[in-house]
Structure formats: C-alpha cells, structure tokens
C-alpha cells in the first residue's frame, strides 16, 4: 500500500465529510488528518468517529493559508500526501491505480481527474476538472499569494502546488460531489469570484506572483478581462466540452459557470474604478 497521508481541510463540512471519510479503505493511508477551521456543525465529531486525526487551524489573514500551513507546521512523515476536499469521494478505481503506481514512482506529483456531480447526478461533459493534489512530501508547496484578506477564504482555492520534479497523471477519477443546493453553489462561487478578481487586480499592478502560473491560469486571466468572458465560457462548456450531453442539467451548469466568470470580470472592473477614483 502507498506510504500516504490524506489531508482533508474543512469548515462546517459534516454533511459531506461522512461520505468522504467512509470511502477511504482501511489501510490505504497511514494517516488521515482533518484540518478544521472552527467548525460548529459536528464536523469534528464525524472526523473522530472515523478515526481521523483533527488539527485546528485559525487563519490570521496572511500567508500561509490552510494547506501550506499544514505542510509547514505538521509536515507528514509519509512519502506522499493527498489533499482531499470533504465533498470528494475516492472511488475503488482510483484507490487501485494509486496503490499500484505510487510504491515504485519517481514522480514529484500527480494530476488527478474528477467526476463532477451537479443536481444529484454526475456530468458527462462540460468541465474537465483536474487538480495537482497528490505529491511527494518535500517536493514543494502551494504557490505563495500574499493577500490582505481579499475574502474570508482561509484555504487555497485556485492555487496549485509548485513542485520540483516530473509530474504524472492518475487517470481513474475521484467523485466530486459538490452541493446540489443551488443557493450554496451560487454563494460559494460569489466568494470565489471576489478572491479571483482581487488576485487578477494584484497581477495587473505587479503585486502578485505570476511567474509560475500554468498556461490554463494565464489563458483564464486573459479571457476574464474581456466583457464577453461569460458567453465564451458558456459556449465552450456547453458546446465544445460536451455539456449538451447532459441536456438541461448541462445547460444550467454551463450557464452558472458563465455567470461566475462574468461576476469575476465585473468585480475586477469595480476594483479598477475604485483605484482610479482613489489613486
């Protein structure tokens, strides 16, 4: 079995955490850690019931945020670490592939693939979600962003680990079972869009670290700066990336994601206008 620590950053995630921890097979990881930001909904009790170690985290508004804080202050003694969100469920296929590949691997990390659930069912198209969330301990950490509380987000959202060494890919998918509550979906993306706009604004002023952005991050930053970013994303998601295969669910998903990018553009423009009024 892989020499692995699974780290699950959470805040009031009881609804999802039980399924997440319950899907981790016995013996698959040497250590399962839940990094909790003061949950008040019984998250801690769920974690302890499943035998996970609970570490408390309180963000001070500065670098590092939750994942880098864990790597810096609670460095795993295992060779590998997998960061798993509470709404992400390990599949038997993923467990089998990781168990087969990691023991003899010379990679620094692996890109992971995810199945997106929306309105209670997995999507067949529309959004190819990938994250670099499995890597060898000591090969790097999440990119550094020096922010001044752009939002209340205490965990790295769109940052990715900057690793030293070759990176591979695990093809078997993890199930990403995002909330089916549209209100929660929109509220979360409202918070994300504020952070994203602030990051792009900092990049424009030369106060953000952009040297190690991936080509996808650079492309997204260019598209979001145009007022047509929402329609562009909608057409790309629904037509080019197969969202139409999911019928009306795929249409709604692409529409909401397009609205998210429009929101980022609007908030970026708002920040520019405020800067112009108060240089």
Of the ranges 48-52, 71-75, 225-229, which one carries the lowest mean pLDDT score?
Answer: 225-229
| Cis, bond preceding 64 (omega within 30 deg of 0) | yes
- Identify the CA nearest to 100 among candidates 6, 164, 167, 170: 170
Looking at the chain, the whole-number percentage of residues with pLDDT higher than 90 is 68
Whether 204 and 171 map to the same domain: the answer is: no
**Total count of domains within the chain:** 2
pLDDT average, residue stretch 251-264: 95
Distance CA 150, CA 200 (A): 11
Whether 206 and 256 map to the same domain: the answer is: yes
Residue 8 vs residue 198, higher pLDDT = 8
Whether 149 and 267 map to the same domain: the answer is: no
Among 176, 195, 211, the domain-final residue is: 176
Whether 33 and 76 map to the same domain: the answer is: yes
For all residues of the chain together, what is the average pLDDT?
91
Q: State phi, psi for 199 to the nearest 5 degrees.
A: -65, -45
Query: How far, rounded to the nearest angstrom, does the alpha carbon of residue 178 sit from its chain's CA centroid?
Result: 11
pLDDT tens readout for residues 160-194: 899 999 999 999 999 998 766 898 889 889 989 99
Whether 222 and 105 map to the same domain: the answer is: no
Whether 225 and 242 map to the same domain: the answer is: yes
Among 155, 176, 197, the domain-final residue is: 176
Residue 217 vs residue 265, higher pLDDT = 265
pLDDT attached to residue 212:
66
Among 176, 202, 219, the domain-final residue is: 176
15, 1, 172, 130 alpha-carbon torsion, rounded to 10° = 70
**CATH, residue 104:** 3.90.550.10
pLDDT attached to residue 211:
61
Whether 93 and 202 map to the same domain: the answer is: no
Whether 230 and 192 map to the same domain: the answer is: yes
Q: Which domain holds residue 17?
A: 4-176
Whether 241 and 213 map to the same domain: the answer is: yes
SS3 label, residue 31: strand
Whether 149 and 246 map to the same domain: the answer is: no
Other beta carbons within 10 angstroms of residue 62's beta carbon come to 10
Whether 83 and 212 map to the same domain: the answer is: no
pLDDT tens readout for residues 114-132: 999 998 889 999 888 899 9
pLDDT tens readout for residues 59-117: 988 889 999 999 999 999 999 999 999 999 999 999 999 999 999 999 999 999 999 99
Whether 39 and 93 map to the same domain: the answer is: yes
């Amino acid at each position: 079995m892989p020499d692995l620590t699974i780290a699950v950053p959470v805040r009031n995630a009881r609804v999802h955490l039980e399924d997440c921890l319950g899907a981790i097979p016995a013996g698959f990881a040497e250590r399962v850690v839940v990094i909790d930001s003061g949950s008040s909904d019984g998250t801690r009790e769920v974690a302890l019931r499943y035998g996970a170690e609970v570490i408390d985290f309180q963000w001070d508004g500065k670098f590092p945020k939750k994942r880098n804080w864990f790597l810096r202050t609670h460095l795993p003694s295992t060779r590998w670490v997998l960061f798993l969100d509470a709404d992400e469920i390990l599949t038997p296929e993923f467990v089998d592939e990781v168990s087969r590949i990691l023991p003899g691997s010379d990679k620094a990390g692996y890109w992971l693939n995810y199945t997106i659930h929306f309105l209670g069912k997995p999507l067949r198209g529309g959004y190819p979600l990938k994250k670099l969330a499995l890597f060898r301990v000591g090969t790097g950490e999440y990119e550094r962003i020096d922010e001044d509380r752009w939002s209340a987000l205490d965990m790295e959202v769109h940052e990715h680990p900057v690793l030293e060494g070759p990176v591979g890919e695990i093809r078997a998918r993890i199930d990403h079972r995002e909330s089916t509550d549209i209100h929660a979906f929109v509220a979360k993306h409202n918070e994300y869009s504020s952070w994203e706009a602030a990051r792009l604004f900092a990049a424009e002023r030369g106060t953000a670290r952009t040297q190690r952005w991936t080509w996808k991050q650079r492309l997204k930053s260019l598209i979001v700066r145009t007022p047509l970013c929402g329609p562009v994303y909608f057409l790309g998601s629904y037509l080019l990336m197969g969202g139409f295969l999911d019928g009306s669910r795929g249409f709604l998903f692409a529409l909401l994601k397009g609205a998210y990018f429009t929101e980022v553009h609007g908030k970026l423009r708002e920040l520019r206008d405020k800067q112009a009024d108060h240089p």
